[in-house]
């Protein structure tokens, strides 16, 4: 059966009968897990297997947001804590090689956690470049405030994930760093000139344009398209994401249920696909909304199907990892940040 162009969450620790029926019928391309879906390693691994069995696809992508810092769906007591992105930026300022090494090590260890559960995609790295006065929703998740530094650390994070057999998702393209609102709650508008955006925000994404997947920003760039956020803007998808930045991988929306978007879930879904996104992401596990997304989402075909297949085909077998040594090295590097600030 052909897959539909959406990724869905589910409501709890296991599939309900209604969710199982919906998934079997609608055949989403992939799934995304949140804290509400996570209890123990055995439970998560069983849920992952069940999701794949329900779509009869052993390779169906399973996504998660596992950044470290305050965005970490897997956490204590069953999984370790990882540093926020700003820690790698601080290390980079001491010595760029130290920052890149720590970023790669942290991502490699995260990938090891995920691969052990059957999770194959991490919504990481961020290439957002925050500015003074921006909303704290990005905050210390960011690697820095200079495009070249952000891109370098993001590349190291992506490399670490890929070395562990996990696909990265670049976010939030073409940039969330200037947003003055949390898009979970309302729509931010950025009024920077195109020249300034190309010099800073977009420049951080350009060196990462070869990554297999990216997630959009629910942000209005008023000098480019005053009427639509990037997620639903054909102008921004075509001219900026595919054009200026040059990203040619699978493009997924940020969560369609966020309050930054307007209209019904069905209307939002249609707008996302019409703008040129390949995939609609729905996260909250509300089955009625999931059904709306499915009704308005086409089957994967043409270029979207090609990009989806190319992304999955790029996943490599994990390289060997001495986990104990890698964690000790990462902790030693993190301690350098503390010593530098003492």
Catalytic residue positions?
184, 254
Whether 280 contacts 252, CB under 8 Å: yes
Residue position matching structure tokens 């891109």: 151
Helix (H) and strand (E) counts in the chain? 12, 12
Those residues whose C-beta lies under 8 Å from the C-beta of residue 249, and which sit 6 or more positions away, are 170, 209, 210, 211, 212, 213, 214, 307, 310, 311
Please tell me the distance from the alpha carbon of residue 246 to that of residue 206, in angstroms, as a whole number.
7
- Helix 85-94 vs helix 96-117: angle between axes, to the nearest 10 degrees? 150
CA distance 105 to 107: 5
Cα separation, 31 vs 333, in Å, equals: 34
Cα separation, 88 vs 98, whole angstroms: 8
End-to-end CA distance of the chain: 59
């Amino acid at each position: 059966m052909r897959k539909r162009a959406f990724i869905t969450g589910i409501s709890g620790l296991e599939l309900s009968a209604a969710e199982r029926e919906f998934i079997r019928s609608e055949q989403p391309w992939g799934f995304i897990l949140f804290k509400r879906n996570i209890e123990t390693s055995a439970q998560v691994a069983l849920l992952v297997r069940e999701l794949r069995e329900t779509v009869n696809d052993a390779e169906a992508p399973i996504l998660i947001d596992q950044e470290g810092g305050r965005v970490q769906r897997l956490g204590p007591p069953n999984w370790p804590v990882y540093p926020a992105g700003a820690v790698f930026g601080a290390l980079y300022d001491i010595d760029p090689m130290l920052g890149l090494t720590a970023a790669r090590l942290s991502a490699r260890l995260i990938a090891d956690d995920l691969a052990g559960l059957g999770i194959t995609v991490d919504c990481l790295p961020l290439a957002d470049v925050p500015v003074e006065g921006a909303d704290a929703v990005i905050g210390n998740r960011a690697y820095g405030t200079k495009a070249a530094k952000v891109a370098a650390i993001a590349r190291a994070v992506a490399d670490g994930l890929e070395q562990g057999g996990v696909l990265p998702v670049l976010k939030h393209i073409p940039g969330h760093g200037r947003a003055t609102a949390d898009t979970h709650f309302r729509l931010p508008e950025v009024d920077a000139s195109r020249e300034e955006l190309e010099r800073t925000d977009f420049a951080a994404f350009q060196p990462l344009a070869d990554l297999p997947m990216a997630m959009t920003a629910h942000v209005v760039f008023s000098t480019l398209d005053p009427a639509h956020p990037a997620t639903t803007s054909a102008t921004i998808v075509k001219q900026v994401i595919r054009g200026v930045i040059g990203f040619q991988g699978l493009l997924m929306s940020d969560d369609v249920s966020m309050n930054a978007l307007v209209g019904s879930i069905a209307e939002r879904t249609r707008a996302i696909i019409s703008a040129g996104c390949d995939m609609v992401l729905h996260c909250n596990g509300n089955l009625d909304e999931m059904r709306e997304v499915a009704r308005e989402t086409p089957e994967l075909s043409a270029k979207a199907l090609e990009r989806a297949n190319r992304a999955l085909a790029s996943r490599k077998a994990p390289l060997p990892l001495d986990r104990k040594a890698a964690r000790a090295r990462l902790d030693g590097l993190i301690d350098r940040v503390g010593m530098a600030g003492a």
